[in-house]
Structure 1
């Protein structure tokens, strides 16, 4: 199980198609009896539709699937709503499966056009406005894909932390417990300082700690200067978290 988790985390961090990795994540979640995680992964994999057995009346399409755009009528005229209290009308949450979102992003450039039947009905009923389609920038799809990738990574890392804690010798449990707590709280500098203290008798592991500290410092510099996108920085930080976990695994033996 540990090897499977490590391989999946590595692929999630390396830009593999998220639609190819979700089935593997579901398999791992099933083996670990993570029912809530299985449900979320299946909703992302197959879409937030009533035809998906995981979708119930109590479930909502997550907010991170929201895209902002403009509705158009059959003549191509945009629906412009200047009143702030109606700003929500120019947004919609995509129910599509992850593979469909990937395909839309790959095939389209500029803007994507979809038909939102629910919105069409509501606008006709409450505003007496007939609309034909909804258009939004293709870049919004990347935000959804990045969010699902990061969320899956976070959850897999949490499973790896739990798995590594179970097999830790008693003499190392306090160290691993403190290290995992720092990782979960995203206090990566402190986690690396703790790991560095434990690697003083192992030059190879000590070099790895120094490397990760340098990577973290560079990310923080980019964050301050705004020279990298927030989602790219977050993915790199998740990679550092995975590296610290691997260090902790070596140090716990």
Structure 2
């Protein structure tokens, strides 16, 4: 079955609908959402999320992932996950299904090509995918889902994860950094804001496997991608908005993080 709900309707209805479906039915939906934040949840079906447009934040097992359009997210059944987006609008193609003995039985993010995207759109265009009503289509969809780990390479950036720190003192620090990306931040300024010495704050970052500059630059680039995806700013405006002192330094860091320049990234979008 297929429907187009609002964010609040999604959060309320999907878990209930999923659990009521017979095992041989695939639930497919396309959602066009504004900014949303779904609390952590799990269900008894595998979930595929293809980002048609916009960007998506996914937290799984204490690790935060950032996924852009044209990427495919595989969430195995029973795995708790939290979804959110900061874009003005995001469009998702989501499938829920039952399948045993699959190779991709672990959370993963994949890059896609036109062949994969076209098949996902074809599957999503059908009003119902049931083994009883649509045996050929059901068999095709299940076989296609089973082959996805072989068809799609795993993504590197933009999914580069950061582990949620166990040290509770560091969590408000990271939230402060994410909330103030446009400011001229330094570890000294942040340490002073929270009453830490630079040495102690540096040790807290190190013990959590995070470098302050890497964390700051990564989230500046993430925010830049969100702004560019919304189309409200050009590259130069975006560079200053996320805290870089020049478009040149923005382009240099953007390429270090993503592997390509902002202009090349936009051309591929």
Would you say same fold, with TM above 0.5? no
TM-score by length of 1: 0.26
* Structure number, greater radius of gyration: 1
More helix by share: 1
The structure where strand makes up a greater share of residues is: 2
